[in-house]
Structure formats: C-alpha cells, structure tokens
Structure 1
Amino acid sequence: MSGWAANLEKFVNKFPKKSVSESDKEADVHFLKLLEEEQQAESKKNATYSKIPKFYYKKPDTKNQINMGVRQEARTRFLHNKSAEILDKEDLEKLWYLLKSNTSFPDDGSERMNYDQFCIVANKLPSKYRQFFQPSVFLKCDRDEYGRIEIVPFFHYIVRKVNLHQTRIQISLYDSAGNGYLKEKDLENFIFELIPSFPQLSSLQENFYPFYVITAVRKFFFFLDPKRTGKILIKDILTSPILAEFYELRQESWSAEEASQNWFSVQSSLKVYDQYLRLDLDRNGMLRKMELVRYPGGLTSIFVDRLFEEYQTFEGEMDYKTFLDFVLAMENKKSTASLQYFWRILDVYKQGAIDTFVVNMFLRAIIKKLESKERFGFKVDDVKDEIWDMAKPKVLYALTLEDLIACGQGDIIVGMLIDARAFYEYDQRESGIDPEEMDELWDN
C-alpha cells in the first residue's frame, strides 16, 4: 500500500500545482478549442453552414442520467466559483476604509473623490473589485464642478450590486434545467429553504409550510408569468418589486401595518388561507360556485360562472391555487396582470373586444344584485354611457384590453362590471356614506 501511495504522489508531483482561477482558465481554453473543432467538423459535413447559420440545436437527452448529472455538477461548480468572487462583509469594510481615506481636494467637508483617487483606490484592491472601478462606472456617477463623485452613493451602488449578484447566484442554484428560468417546483424549493432564515417567518408553524409556499409562489407567477407558461425568467424575478417585497421578511422587526400590507407575511398568508376555509362550507378542500359567491363584496352569478369557465377547475370546483390567483386579481385591479385576468372573463365571445351587448349583460346582473339589497334607481343605459366615457375606446362601442389598460380607469370599470359593492361604492363616492353602514349592507 505504501508503495502505491508513493508512486501516486510521485506522479502527482510531476504536474505543477494550479490555483482555482488558473484551472478555470485552462478549462475555458480547452472548451473553446473543442467547440471550434466541432464547428469545423459540422461545416465540413454540410457546406451550407458557411452561408446559412444553424438555427436548430438538439436539446440534451434528459434520459441520459450521466449527461444530466455532469451538466448539473458543472453548473453548480460554476455558480460556487462565481459566489467566491463576490465581495463579503470584510471586503466591503476594507473598501469603505480605502474610500474614506482617499478623498480629494478641495477639502470642503464633503466626502468626494476625483478620477485620480478613484484609480489609486482601484490599484490597491485585488482583481475581484475591478468590475466596480471601470472608467464607465465613474462616468455614470454624478460629478461636481471639480470632477469629483460622492463616496457614499458610490459605496451604496457597490453594495446593491453585490446583493444583486448574491441573489442571482442563490436563485440560479435552483434552476434545475439550467436555462435561465425557474419552473413552479424550482421556485417552491427556493422559498421553502429560505423560510427558516427569515426572522419574520419564525412564528410560522411547520405544518403550514406547504400552504405558505404555494401562497408565496402564486404571487410571483401571477404577475411575472401572464401568459401562463409555467416558468419565469430569473432576470425578471431579480428586477421585480415582488422579490424586494419577499426579502422584506429578513427584517428583524416591523409594524402590524407593514405586515398586513405584505403578501408574504405570516399574517397575510394565514388570512387568505382562513378566508378559503371559511368559504369552503362542505369542507371538501375545494370551492363550488355557490361558495365563491360569498367572497366579501357583491360578486354576481354571471361573473362567477364565467370565472369557472375560463380558469382551471376540477369537476366544477376551484382549488386553492386558482383561488389565490383570483384573490391577487381582486386585490390588485390596477395592475396589468389583473386586467388581463379579468379580460378573459369579460371577453365572452373571444372577439378581442366587448360591445354594448356584453356590457349590458354584466350590468344587468349588477343592478339585479343591488335591487336584492333594496337599492334602486340605477339605469343600465346611464351606467353604460359612463363606462364608455371612462374607457374612451379607439373604436366606438368596442372596448379592447388595450383600451382598458390605456384609459387608467380599468380597475373602476372592471369593478363596476363584476362586483355590485364596488359599483355601489363608486356611485355613492360623493354621498359621504358611512363605511360601517356599507359593511353592514353587504354582510346581510
């Protein structure tokens, strides 16, 4: 055994030791060489490749476990290497000290540096800082009459970029396909594994984790996957305010008001789930039409019928995921995603526009609901005219989704067509009606 170990050590010592960066560089060179050889072989095989670029590439064989395993391992190593290049807390502290120590004259009390000091700081730092000390970065910063930039905003810019890179790598580790997007299951895994690390989720019971994850994931997919493709680009997640809202859960403390306004808080998720359970009268875990009609407000039967026609149901009943999409649409009517959601319901005949007949159909159901609450005096023709005035469609009496979004009052129009309470509140907006009286009216 000792002889075998000695021979192995002797063999290893023949080759010079290399750093991780040197090994990566050598691997890149070798990969590019192999790629070039493959392209040359293809061009020899088919001469048309020199004139017509190849536009179809066969997808990797997902059944080949070795191939997929190597691919996944390569991606993981790549992301871990990228993670090692990111500035940590000590790196940022070192940078802050150097920036503070290299301010430029005149000494007017402001912490600023000119381009010469900028280059001096850059030369004192290792290579992983270089991306933040390019001439283009300096030129992007606001400069005073002496050509100096402010140190504090520049440092904050670096911190934000570092956080963005960290988040991108963290999310990319869950990209099972390695194609730059997350599927629903990938995003569920990402959120599930973050739950224990967020202080604002410390009170979340473990048996509620699966329902919490579903609740959180639905908001991402509702707003970032409007075409319902089942996947979201990672770059869209990173630039979305939804991710920023989710990361607010990292705060050590926040007020009850902040918690109530954050979809991802424990309070909000429990509230939505409790609402679902209260609507589920037969306790079968699904909602029937007659159960959803009891949703707070004054939903009309024709709207609920159309909702069940357009969105996924199971033997005529709605599951929790579909209910979450409905709640998100109801609570965010101003958003484009919500208007698109409601448009599928309103565009009954799938003509890309709704006319007077369709508007009349929804409004009659609204007025019928109001009359059941002993609220009279509403005329369909008058309300229709008001809707056309608000929408200002490009084609007279043909309201499109684009018109609904462009007019800026799409949320009001949708509310007037689907919800009797929203209609009544809009009609009585100048009467000074007591909110408690309004609640009492619709609770009965």
Structure 2
Amino acid sequence: MYRLILKTTSAITFLAQKQTDILLNADDLDAMYVCLRENCVIDDSTGAVKMNYEDFCHIASVCTEQIGPKCRCFFSPSNFMKFEKDESGRIAILPFYLYVMHTVGAAAPFIQNAEPPPLMRHIFGLDNCLISTLVSLTQARIDMSELDEDSDGFLQPHEMENYIKVLIPNLAQLHDMPAAFEKTYCCIATHKFFSSAIPTNEVEKACIKKMLLSNRLRDLMELHQESEEEVTDTELAENWFSLTSAQCICDMFLALDKDMNGTLIKQELREYTDRTLAAIFIERGRN
C-alpha cells in the first residue's frame, strides 16, 4: 500500500513538472511581451502597436531563443489569421497577447482583484488603460460564456443583446443614454457583431472566441473610459458603439421609413446613402 501511494505521488509530481515545462509562466509572459514591444511598429493613425506576418515570424524566433520551444505553438500561421488585420495586413499585439494569456490561463486569477497585480503593471508599463482593457476582455469572456445557453461557444442575437444590456451600466460613455433608447442600442450594437457572422445550422450565431479577438469588442470596451477632455460629436461618431454613432444610425433609418411602420420596403431602402446600394443587394433583401 505504501509503495502504491509512493508511486502515485511520484507520478503526480512527474506530470506536474512536465506540465510546468510546457506551459508559460509569469516570467515567460513578461519576456514575450517585451519581445512583442521591441519588434513591432506603432500605427501613426491609431497609436496601436502592430506587427505584420514577417514581424510575427521574427518574434517567434526571438521568443523561442529566449523562452524556449514551448512558446512556438502560439506563433503558428493559423493563429496569426485569427486576428483582424488593417489595410497593411498587420495585427495589433494586444489582442494576440490576450489570446496567449487566455490560453495559458494567466488572466483568470486577477478577475476577482480590484487592483491589478504588480506583474501586469510591469508588463504594461504601468498603463492602467491597457490593464483595464485586459480585465474587461477577460470578464467579457466569462459573461458571454454564462449567456451561452447551449454551451456551444456561440451566441445567438438575443443572447448578445442580453450581454450588451448587462454591460451598458458599466460603460461610462453610455451613462447619458435615454432609457427608451436602450433596446434600440442593444439591437444596433448586436448587428455590428453579427455583420460578419456565418449562420450555423440555419441559425445566426457569432463565435465567442472570434468576438473576443475582434476589434469590435475592443471598440465597445473603449466606452469604459471617461474622456477627460471635451470631445466633438465627429470624434465620438468614429466609434461605432458610441451613443452618438448609434443615434445617428437610428435617425438615418427612421428618416428612410416614410410610412413610419418600423420596417423598410425596397423602395425606401433604395434611398439609403443617396442610392449607393446595388440593385441586386436590394432585390435579395427582405421587405
């Protein structure tokens, strides 16, 4: 009996050590972030730190040299293709780094903490805005999973609307939203997420994992931050999820609805943005 317990303990210790050898620890994540920052470029228009595929491959080699082969799996071509790209084919490093942290389970421990741990402050250069974004995205993953009724990793439109409805009170830039506009806002925001969703088994669904990696969720999370400076309506409208943008979209479609019945017929839809919609698009639409 004693020998059996000893063997079992040894096996558990061996497996734990093996798991440690293949998983990234806090120091590894720190080193990876430094590699990402030192080998990327800053987008002049947005200030975001980005990398193209050539940078991605170079960083993979640098990380492998400094951290070891256990980080190589994160730098596969398929992983690069998961992230949204700008017109130059570059991806932002923050969503990629969040993906790595989610994969190794490093983000979960500080969801319960009001104050981010020292490691995160060090990694992000004491940038509370980035830390807040990280926490928000991780919390989003938890909240979306809770609303996923059939636990298939996808959200249906009504589930996404419920997520946004719950999120609204926590978005500082939406505090002035009229209560009567809330349902409309949830619908508009949901359609933005579903604009590129592929129907699954004839049911429109959006992949939670893809939404977490998308720039759309990042734009939505930007509404957490209160602006200390006065911002013009034009600047606010640049974020699709801002109250200004949503109200503009709503007003535009209400203006097209000549009979005020809440729907657009083909003739009304033709007037959208000075008749710029293709006829074939309108004909395929529903009345």
**Structure 2-normalised TM-score?**
0.53
Quick one: which of 178, 185, 192 aligns to 1:212? 185
Q: Give the Cα separation in 2 of the matches to 1:252 and 1:243.
A: 17
> Which position in structure 2 is the counterpart of 1:239?
213
When residues 280 and 168 of structure 1 are mapped into structure 2, their CA distance, relative to the original with a 3 A threshold, is same
Equivalent positions of 1:334-349 (< 5 A) are none
> Which position in structure 1 is the counterpart of 2:17?
none
**Structure 1-normalised TM-score?**
0.35
Helix, strand or coil at the partner of 2:271: coil
Structure 2's unaligned 5+ residue stretches are 1-106
Quick one: which of 126, 151, 158 aligns to 1:185? 158
Q: Give the Cα separation in 2 of the matches to 1:162 and 1:197.
A: 13
1:368-412 superposed Cα distances (whole Å, 9 cap, x missing partner)? xxxxxxxxxxxxxxxxxxxxxxxxxxxxxxxxxxxxxxxxxxxxx
Quick one: which of 151, 175, 198 aligns to 2:148? 175
Q: Is the contact between residue 87 and residue 162 of structure 1 (CA under 8 Å) also seen in structure 2?
A: no
Q: Does residue 1:89 correspond to 2:114, yes or no? A: yes
Query: How far does residue 278 in structure 1 lie from its aligned partner after superposition?
Result: 1.0
Q: Give the Cα separation in 1 of the matches to 2:187 and 2:214.
A: 19
Structure 1's unaligned 5+ residue stretches are 1-81, 100-150, 318-444
Q: Give the Cα separation in 2 of the matches to 1:174 and 1:237.
A: 14
Q: Percent identity?
A: 33
Q: Is the contact between residue 198 and residue 249 of structure 1 (CA under 8 Å) also seen in structure 2?
A: yes
When residues 155 and 171 of structure 1 are mapped into structure 2, their CA distance, relative to the original with a 3 A threshold, is farther
Q: Give the Cα separation in 2 of the matches to 1:283 and 1:86.
A: 46
Query: How far does residue 165 in structure 1 lie from its aligned partner after superposition?
Result: 3.0
> Which position in structure 2 is the counterpart of 1:199?
172
Once superposed, what is the RMSD of the aligned Cα atoms? 3.1
> Which position in structure 1 is the counterpart of 2:35?
none
Helix, strand or coil at the partner of 1:173: helix
Q: Does residue 1:255 correspond to 2:231, yes or no? A: yes
> Which position in structure 2 is the counterpart of 1:278?
255
Q: Which amino acid aligns with 2:237?
A: S
Equivalent positions of 1:218-237 (< 5 A) are 218-225=191-198, 229-237=203-211
Query: How far does residue 263 in structure 1 lie from its aligned partner after superposition?
Result: 1.0
Q: Give the Cα separation in 1 of the matches to 2:224 and 2:134.
A: 18
Q: Give the Cα separation in 1 of the matches to 2:221 and 2:283.
A: 36
Query: How far does residue 173 in structure 1 lie from its aligned partner after superposition?
Result: 1.4
Q: Is the contact between residue 110 and residue 116 of structure 2 (CA under 8 Å) also seen in structure 1?
A: no
Equivalent positions of 1:2-401 (< 5 A) are 86=111, 88-90=113-115, 92-93=117-118, 95=119, 151-153=122-124, 159=131, 162-225=135-198, 229-253=203-227, 255-256=231-232, 257-299=234-276, 303-304=278-279, 306-311=280-285, 313=286, 317=287
When residues 89 and 275 of structure 1 are mapped into structure 2, their CA distance, relative to the original with a 3 A threshold, is same
Q: Give the Cα separation in 2 of the matches to 1:162 and 1:205.
A: 27
Q: Is the contact between residue 197 and residue 204 of structure 2 (CA under 8 Å) also seen in structure 1?
A: no
Q: Is the contact between residue 83 and residue 169 of structure 1 (CA under 8 Å) also seen in structure 2?
A: no
1:198-222 superposed Cα distances (whole Å, 9 cap, x missing partner)? 1111111111111111100001000
Query: For this pair of structures, how many residues does the alignment match?
Result: 175
Query: How far does residue 154 in structure 1 lie from its aligned partner after superposition?
Result: 7.7
Query: How far does residue 307 in structure 1 lie from its aligned partner after superposition?
Result: 2.5
1:162-198 superposed Cα distances (whole Å, 9 cap, x missing partner)? 5543331122111111121111111010001111221
1:304-357 superposed Cα distances (whole Å, 9 cap, x missing partner)? 3x234323x2xxx2xxxxxxxxxxxxxxxxxxxxxxxxxxxxxxxxxxxxxxxx
Q: Is the contact between residue 168 and residue 234 of structure 1 (CA under 8 Å) also seen in structure 2?
A: yes
Q: Is the contact between residue 199 and residue 205 of structure 2 (CA under 8 Å) also seen in structure 1?
A: no
The higher relative CO (CA closer than 8 Å, separation ≥ 6) is in 2
**Which protein is bigger by CA-based radius of gyration?**
1
When residues 248 and 184 of structure 1 are mapped into structure 2, their CA distance, relative to the original with a 3 A threshold, is same
Q: Is the contact between residue 174 and residue 186 of structure 1 (CA under 8 Å) also seen in structure 2?
A: yes
Q: Is the contact between residue 177 and residue 243 of structure 2 (CA under 8 Å) also seen in structure 1?
A: yes
Q: Give the Cα separation in 1 of the matches to 2:267 and 2:138.
A: 48
Q: Which amino acid aligns with 1:307?
A: F
